């Protein structure tokens, strides 16, 4: 699989089963979110829900939505896009085992970070799980533990760390 052969595009509802298969390969059962929740998130935030595909095969996905700094989506909670967002909230980024280590995760995240900066959002935020802190630091995020509500973080099994970064000011915004 050549990295350049992989296309990033908005997720379609017909890709739900493939996205759930990637989720199942990437997370333990206690962290997998049900199909109805995942579909509702796609419908709530279609512009910020991406897949990376090799042909028709889904290799990776990213679910995000416009939110507010300090707001955390609990596990299995619906997306509630903010009316006046200041933050791109990255909820779930996952790469199928067969496609790991080819820069796909960085490409997906950078795609939405660039778009959010272009739309004038000032921050990006996420909850790091499964020992991914250093991956997110590579994308400019820093731990911002004090800002996030403990109850939402506590819904994630294992160590969950709220991380944030500033987005560059856009001349277009």
Ligand X SMILES: CC(C)(COP(=O)(O)OP(=O)(O)OC[C@H]1O[C@@H](n2cnc3c(N)ncnc32)[C@H](O)[C@@H]1OP(=O)(O)O)[C@@H](O)C(=O)NCCC(=O)NCCS
Q: What is the smallest separation between the CB atom of 138 and ligand X, expressed in angstroms?
A: 5
Task: Give kind and range of the element (H or E) at residue 50.
Answer: strand 49-54
Identify the bridge partners of residue 165 per DSSP, sorted by sequence position.
Answer: 124
Count of residues that interact with ligand X, criterion CB under 6 A: 19
Does residue number 165 form part of the binding site for ligand X (CB under 6 A)?
A: no
Q: How far is CA 43 from CA 3, 135, 148, in A?
A: 28, 28, 25
* Residue list 5-44, contact with ligand X (CB under 6 A): 26
Of 83 and 150, nearer to ligand X (C-beta) is 150
Query: Is residue 135 part of the contact set for ligand X (CB under 6 A)?
Result: yes
Place of tokens 């973080």: 153
- Among 47, 100, 145, 173, interactor with ligand X by CB under 6 A: 100
Residues 71, 90: contact at Cβ < 8 Å? no
122 binds ligand X (CB under 6 A): no
Q: In sequence order, what are the residues at sequence separation of 6 or more whose Cβ sits closer than 8 angstroms to the Cβ of residue 44?
A: 65, 78, 79, 80, 81
Measured CA to CA, the distance from residue 66 to residue 80 in angstroms comes to 8
Q: Say what angle helices 35-44 and 16-26 make with each other, to 10 degrees.
A: 120
Name the one range near ligand X by CB under 6 A: 12-20, 33-41, 134-142, 145-153. 134-142
By the rule CB under 6 A, 54 interacts with ligand X? no
In the bound complex, what is the minimum distance in angstroms from residue 8's beta carbon to ligand X?
Answer: 12
User: What is the closest distance, in whole angstroms, from the C-beta atom of residue 55 to ligand X in the complex?
Assistant: 18
CB of 83 to ligand X, least distance (A): 26
Residues that bind ligand X (CB under 6 A): 26, 93-95, 100-106, 128-132, 134-135, 138
């Amino acid at each position: 699989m050549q990295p350049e052969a992989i296309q990033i595009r908005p997720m379609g509802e017909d890709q739900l089963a493939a996205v759930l298969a990637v989720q199942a390969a990437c997370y333990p059962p206690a962290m997998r979110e049900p199909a109805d929740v995942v579909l509702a998130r796609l419908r709530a935030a279609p512009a910020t829900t991406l897949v990376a595909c090799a042909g028709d095969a889904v290799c990776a996905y990213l679910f995000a939505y416009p939110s507010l700094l300090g707001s955390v989506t609990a596990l299995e909670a619906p997306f509630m896009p903010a009316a006046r967002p200041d933050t791109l909230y990255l909820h779930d980024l996952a790469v199928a085992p067969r496609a790991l280590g080819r820069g796909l995760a960085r490409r997906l995240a950078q795609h939405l970070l660039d778009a959010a900066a272009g739309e004038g959002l000032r921050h990006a935020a996420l909850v790091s799980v499964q020992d991914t802190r250093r991956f997110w630091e590579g994308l400019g995020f820093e731990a911002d533990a004090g800002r996030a509500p403990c109850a939402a973080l506590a819904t994630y099994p294992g160590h969950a760390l709220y991380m944030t970064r500033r987005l560059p000011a856009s001349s277009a915004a």
